[in-house]
Amino acid sequence: MYKKNTPVTTFRYYFNGSDYFPVIPMVFLVGEKRIRSQALVDSGATISIFGEETANSLGIGIETGRKTILGGVGGRIAGYIHNMKVRIAGKEFLCPVVFSREYTVSFNLLGREAFFRAFRITFEEGKSQVILE
């Protein structure tokens, strides 16, 4: 249940030159490192998915995680689950993230597991914005 005084953060959709997408900024907290990133808020993804480049910038050995096979519209890819501490809209929490060498899509994805439990999420397509409460 969300309280009336819950902080609200609004993010304008990202425009890639041809369309708008609900991409939001985030920070990975790894030891003393603070690595900024961004990801598409994806209600169709069960878990968050990031590519090899992000894992490398975090100093994470991809294969040290728990292996998983992900399936979706684009087919199947192998990845490795890591529990990562993240900060999104001022809130810090643990979020399972799959890192994959095979994930080559242009956007990282923030999926439902952990992230969608941390916020009430409203997509306002008409205003091209996503609201996190």
Supply the pLDDT for residue 1: 44
CB atoms within 10 A of CB 49: 25
Mean pLDDT across the stretch 102-119?
A: 94
Q: Residue 107: what residue type?
A: F
Fold of 9-132: Cathepsin D, subunit A; domain 1 (2.40.70)
Q: With CA atoms as reference, report the closest residue to 132 among 6, 9, 11, 2.
A: 9
Q: What is the pLDDT of residues 19-54, one digit of tens each?
A: 999 999 999 999 999 999 999 999 999 999 999 999
Q: What is the pTM of this model?
A: 0.90
Is-contact 84 97, C-beta < 8 A? yes
Q: Which two tokens stand for residue 20?
A: 């708008």
Q: Has residue 2 got a pLDDT over 60? A: no
Q: What is the pLDDT of residues 52-95, one digit of tens each?
A: 999 999 999 999 999 999 986 667 899 999 999 999 999 999 99
Sorted by where each begins, the domain ranges of the chain are 9-132
CA pair distance 49, 76, nearest whole angstrom? 13
